Amino acid sequence: MLSESLESQVSGNNWSHPPAPMVYQEFQQVVVDAERWEQSDVLRDLEREMAVFDAEHEAALNELRRLYVLPAGSSVTGFLRKHRTIPQLLVLAAQQLKWYFGADTVLTLRAPIDESGSRSLYAVAMWPGSVRDAKTALDKFDDAWWIANSRQALGDLYFTYELV
Amino acid sequence: MPEIVTTPMSYFEVLVEYERPNLKLWLDRAAVVQALFEAFAKWNVKVDDVDILTTGKNSEQGIKFRLTEKQVSFFFSPAACRFTRDNTSWETAPETIEILKTAIETLAAKGEIKPATFKTIVALHVQLKSAPFIQVLRKIIPASMAALDSAPAQTTASVLKWDKRKVTIDGSGQIANGIFIRYEREFPASASYEGMAYQLKADEDGIFAMLDVKEET
């Protein structure tokens, strides 16, 4: 934020990338035929690809943590892991919510389980003002942005407000 | 009424400077590395968790151990060593002390060094659930600065330094609606680990009380 660079706000340890395998491991493997190597390459590519997807998802989650207050536990992160398009949508939505509710408004994510046993995600604007003003802000947000983008969420994401 | 906060991110760091650098730790360190490796075995250290750092200034080069399960790293060079732990809490403080103590005592015995000072850092990102973070930070804005503009301030940061202590309070750049609190204190080598923890906890309590926030229980 102001006084320090963002890097100084973390310890500097990156725990997400395991260290590279030791060199000697390459020489301890049994020699395999070409076909198996091919298969192994495919799997290795797949693993690499999945690792890239995971890294991208983790980056999107970190971006969300800067924009929304996430509850303790894994309800929201677990939901977002299963709905990979929603983090990006939430990043865009945050800009719009801040525009209509105000830059100081605190945005929160919740993923409760409903009566049917399924989980939905709620993006909640914590509103210190009147109900009428909150409704007006939410209506404007819906009309200007959410209606046009809601299809991407496939009915799993809701925007609302909570009076505080 | 204090604002209730949670702490989604935190870290603890200790920089231990030696009384005198021991240059043997550059050239003949195999026995020290082996001793540390064995001492860390109970926390599942693996060969791949040991890095040899050969870039940067001479003082930045050395050996780094990572205890991944505990999110601990321990680095030593000929002039100093550094211990860090991510996602720390006061509940895990006894375990942190045990690992730190193991690291320092092993290094001192096998590496023939004597700690001179312990420079400790605790950093927290505390998060408010509904009240805007600036509402809390407003308390630390000097009135004369706030008067510079009639518009409400959007954020602020403050750094205060004493002889052997420093406190930084800032808006968090890592989490939404968060406050970054970093407090540092230097202890002499004679200080006990428990005594340092007790003092750091008191420092944290003082900062929380000043900001009028309270950790969610």
pLDDT for B10-24, tens place per residue? 999 999 999 999 988
A28 contacts chain B (CB < 8 A): no
The reply to whether A8 falls in a domain is no
The pLDDT confidence band at residue A7, using thresholds 50, 70 and 90, is: low
Residue A106 covered by a domain? yes
pLDDT (tens digit per residue) in A87-105: 999 999 999 999 999 988 9
Q: How many domains does chain A have?
A: 1
A96: domain range?
Answer: 31-163
Closest residue in chain B to residue A3, using alpha carbons only: B157
pLDDT of residue A66: 94
pLDDT of residue B27: 81
Check whether A3 has a pLDDT greater than 60.
Answer: no
Pair B87, B156 in one domain: no
pLDDT at A32 exceeding the cut of 70: no
Search chain B and give the residue with CA nearest A20. B48
State whether B173 and A18 contact (CB < 8 Å). no
Question: Which CA distances in Å does B154 have to A98, B49, B133, B145, B160?
Answer: 14, 43, 9, 13, 21
Distance (Å, whole) CA B50 – CA B142: 47
Same domain, B174 and B216: yes
User: What is the residue whose two structure tokens read 């990156």?
Assistant: A14
Q: B127 and A67 in contact by Cβ < 8 A?
A: no
Nearest CA in chain B to A164: B130
pLDDT at A10: 85
Do B216 and B128 lie in a common domain? yes
Residue A102 lies in a domain: yes
Residues B106 and B169 in one domain: no
Task: Give domain status of residue A66, yes or no.
Answer: yes
Q: What is the mean pLDDT of residues B64-81?
A: 96
Which residue in this structure is represented by tokens 């750049």?
B173
Closest-CA residue to A10 (of B124, B90, B60, B14): B124
Angle at the Cα of A70 (from B14 to A61), degrees rounded to 5? Answer: 80
What's the domain range around B104? Answer: 20-113
Q: Give dist(CA B72, CA B182) in Å, integer.
A: 19
Domain count, chain B: 2
**Confidence band, pLDDT 50/70/90 cuts, at residue A53:** confident
Q: In this complex, how many residue pairs, one in chain A and one in chain B, have their CB atoms less than 8 Å apart?
A: 99
Cβ-defined contact of B66 to A70 (cutoff 8 Å):
no
Mean pLDDT of the region B98-110 = 96
Q: Which residues does chain B have within 8 Å of residue A19's beta carbon, measured at their own beta carbons?
A: 48-49, 51, 66
Give the model's confidence band at A1: pLDDT under 50 very low, under 70 low, under 90 confident, else very high: low
Clarify whether residues B81 and B170 are in a common domain. Answer: no
Residues of A in contact with B176 (CB under 8 A): 65-69, 106-107
B13: nearest CA partner in chain A: A11
B126 and B65 in one domain?
no
pTM for the whole structure: 0.82
How confident is the model over B145-192, as pLDDT tens digits?
999 999 989 899 999 999 999 999 999 999 999 999 999 999 999 999
Q: Could you tell me if B109 and B121 lie in one domain?
A: no
The answer to whether residue B94 scores a pLDDT higher than 70 is: yes
Helix (H) or strand (E) holding B31: helix B30-39
- Tokens standing for A95? 């800009």
Write the DSSP assignment of A73-113 as a string of letters: SSHHHHHHHH-TTHHHHHHHHHHHHHHHH-TT-EEEEE--B
Same domain, B204 and B136: yes
Question: Which of B113, B141, B166 lies at the terminal end of a domain, its last residue?
Answer: B113
**Residues B128 and B173 grouped into a single domain:** yes
Between A41 and B171, the more confident residue is B171
Structure ipTM over 0.85, yes or no: no
Provide the pLDDT for residue B173: 92
Question: From CA A107, how far away is CA B216, in angstroms rounded?
Answer: 19
- A20 found inside a domain: no
